[in-house]
């Protein structure tokens, strides 16, 4: 493993109690960063923080006031906030669009898209004031290609890509890089929310013939949040195992 230099950097990883977020937090810590995990599952969060030796704040990203308060807490405790990896999200239920429950659609959009907006909005003022920041928003291959019976998730993650491109351009005059990654399905607990036939469908679409390992996502993100990533912003990095090449 190459050791990306994040020595002394202060990082927040949302959805950091498990899955891709947990793997990213572990990689950032190994690279020298100090990390605060944010997650709404307080029990898992406490376990993850204890295992990694990281800080933690229980946060529901759909609540902007809570996100803003957590941001202020990190900046007060550590003196600044350099890196944010927004990984919090849900898959939502599987159903055709014309049968999709209205409340479930709103829930997926609220967590996966509005949550990303809340996190980015809360952390950017401090990054602008310090003229430095690195943000990676975790989108999905579904945002590029769509998955049948998962329109809410695809729509929300496509929104994350659009937002990332827009805000990356807004902040281009600062030393702030804001990018997104589009993972294919990874071996995480999110698979437990999906029907087995849907999981089989997603696996069949990956030319690599396997699911993403969470450490592979962490490897890509580690460079994107480093000072070496000093030019690229408002971009989307593929992590789909060959499923999409655009």
d(CA 87, CA 165) in angstroms, rounded, equals 17
CA distances for 103 relative to 90, 92, 195, angstroms:
14, 11, 19
Residues with a catalytic annotation lie at: 153
Paired strand residues for 13: 37, 85
Paired strand residues for 176: 133
**Residues 34, 37, 43: CA angle, nearest 5 degrees:** 140
Cβ neighbors of 2 (< 8 A, separation 6 or more) are: none
d(CA 18, CA 88) in angstroms, rounded, equals 10
Label each residue of 41-106 as H, E or C: CHHHHHHHHHHHCCEEEECCCCCHHHHHHHHHHHHHHHCCCCEEEECCCCCCCCCCHHHCCHHHHH
């Amino acid at each position: 493993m190459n050791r990306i230099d994040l020595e002394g950097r202060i990082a927040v990883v949302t959805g950091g109690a498990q899955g891709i977020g947990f793997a990213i937090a572990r990689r950032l810590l190994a690279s020298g960063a100090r990390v605060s995990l944010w997650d709404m599952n307080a029990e898992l969060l406490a376990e993850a923080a204890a295992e990694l030796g990281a800080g933690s704040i229980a946060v529901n990203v759909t609540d902007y006031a809570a996100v803003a308060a957590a941001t202020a807490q990190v900046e007060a405790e550590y003196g600044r906030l350099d890196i944010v990896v927004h990984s919090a999200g849900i898959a939502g239920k599987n159903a055709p669009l014309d049968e999709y429950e209205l409340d479930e659609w709103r829930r997926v959009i609220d967590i996966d898209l509005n949550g990303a907006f809340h996190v980015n909005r809360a952390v950017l003022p401090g990054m602008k004031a310090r003229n430095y920041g690195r943000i990676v928003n975790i989108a999905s291959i579904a945002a590029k290609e769509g998955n049948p019976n998962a329109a809410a998730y695809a729509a929300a993650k496509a929104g994350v890509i659009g937002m990332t491109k827009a805000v990356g351009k807004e902040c281009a005059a600062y030393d702030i890089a804001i990018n997104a990654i589009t993972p294919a399905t990874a071996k995480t607990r999110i698979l437990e929310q999906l029907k087995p036939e849907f999981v089989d469908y997603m696996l069949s679409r990956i030319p690599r013939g396997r699911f993403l390992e969470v450490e592979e996502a962490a490897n890509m993100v580690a460079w994107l949040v480093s000072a070496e990533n000093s030019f690229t912003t408002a971009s989307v990095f593929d992590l789909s195992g060959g499923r999409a090449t655009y």
